[in-house]
Amino acid sequence: MRNLAAVLFIGGLGFFLFVLFFRLPLGAPPLVAGAAILEEGGETVGAANLVTAVLLAYRGMDTLGELSILFAAATAVGLVLGRRQLVVSDPEGGFILRAGSDLLFPLLLVVGLYVILHGHLTPGGGFQGGVILAAAFFVPVLARPRRGLDHGLLSFVEGLAGAAFIGIGLWALFARDAFLEPLLGKGVLGHLFSAGTLPLLSMAVGLKVGAELAGLMTSLMEAEGRES
């Protein structure tokens, strides 16, 4: 039965690739929606970085779904690892690790916030900046495991950021009859204060992703330390 399923999958994949190879022109795929976004996205949304415009405006519902998946994964890990009632026994890191974490924390914090706030102008945004913020708070935990992170505070930030994302979407729904449609005006293309509510959505995504990943990595590290 397993071999039959594998054969069916390989056959279907081969047929799909065969159709793509002979039906689509080589090197010139038909970008129907993409071409329209490239042509009108900057003027319509006001974001110089069209990737952020797509993530937070054109397909904002998909982004909300991605955030929900990340939330579900972090919650599942927390439920599984939270059942263990042991104490973290990892010692503090050496001088180089502790000094390096103290030096990197403010730098990573600034870079993460910069990437989030400029996501509508340059490559980056909430997801990328959120990962950097998570690293900023997790590196000191590696250096001093016994201090840990306040999971209650992380949960509060995560919930507040998620509620802000949905709240901005509902605001647009009642104001423009379109969920997550950019509000507050487009501003001047390429300026920091532009693209309407997209920077606010990017900040909400960055804080939510950062809090979830920081809590997830800390939970995994604490569980490993408890078992050692």
Tell me, what's the pLDDT at 11?
A: 81
CA–CA separation, 183 and 167 (whole Å): 13
Give the Cα-Cα-Cα angle 144, 75, 157 (nearest 5 degrees). Answer: 65
Q: What is the mean pLDDT of residues 182-196?
A: 81
Residue 225 has pLDDT above 70, yes or no: no
Residue 60 has pLDDT above 90, yes or no: no
Predicted confidence band of residue 82 (pLDDT cuts 50, 70, 90): low
CA–CA separation, 80 and 134 (whole Å): 21
Residue 108 has pLDDT above 50, yes or no: yes
Residue 106 has pLDDT above 50, yes or no: yes
Residue 2 belongs to some domain of the structure:
no
Tell me, what's the pLDDT at 134?
A: 92
Establish how many alpha carbons lie within 13 A of residue 209's alpha carbon, considering only the half-sphere containing its beta carbon.
Answer: 24
Residue 4 belongs to some domain of the structure:
no
With 0-12 / 13-18 / 19 or more C-beta atoms within 10 angstroms meaning exposed / middle / buried, residue 69 is: exposed
Tell me, what's the pLDDT at 88?
A: 52
Q: What is the mean pLDDT of residues 49-58?
A: 83
CA–CA separation, 26 and 17 (whole Å): 13
pLDDT-above-70 percentage for the chain: 85
Residue 65 belongs to some domain of the structure:
yes
Tell me, what's the pLDDT at 227?
A: 53
CA 100 to chain centre: 26
Residue 92 belongs to some domain of the structure:
yes
Q: What is the mean pLDDT of residues 205-212?
A: 91
CA–CA separation, 143 and 103 (whole Å): 12
Structural domain count, the chain: 1
Residue 185 has pLDDT above 50, yes or no: yes
pLDDT-above-90 percentage for the chain: 14
Exposure letters 30-47 (e unless 16+ CB within 10 A, then b): eeeeeeebeeebbeebbb
Residue 221 has pLDDT above 80, yes or no: no
CA–CA separation, 215 and 226 (whole Å): 16
Q: What is the mean pLDDT of residues 11-17?
A: 81
Tell me, what's the pLDDT at 133?
A: 93
Residue 14 belongs to some domain of the structure:
no
Q: What is the mean pLDDT of residues 126-144?
A: 89
Residue 7 belongs to some domain of the structure:
no
Residue 67 has pLDDT above 80, yes or no: yes
Residue 26 belongs to some domain of the structure:
no
Tell me, what's the pLDDT at 179?
A: 80
CA–CA separation, 140 and 83 (whole Å): 25
Range of the domain at 154: 31-227
Residue 45 belongs to some domain of the structure:
yes
Mean pLDDT of the chain: 80
Tell me, what's the pLDDT at 85?
A: 46
Tell me, what's the pLDDT at 98?
A: 84
93 close to 139: Cβ distance less than 8 angstroms: no
Tell me, what's the pLDDT at 173?
A: 83
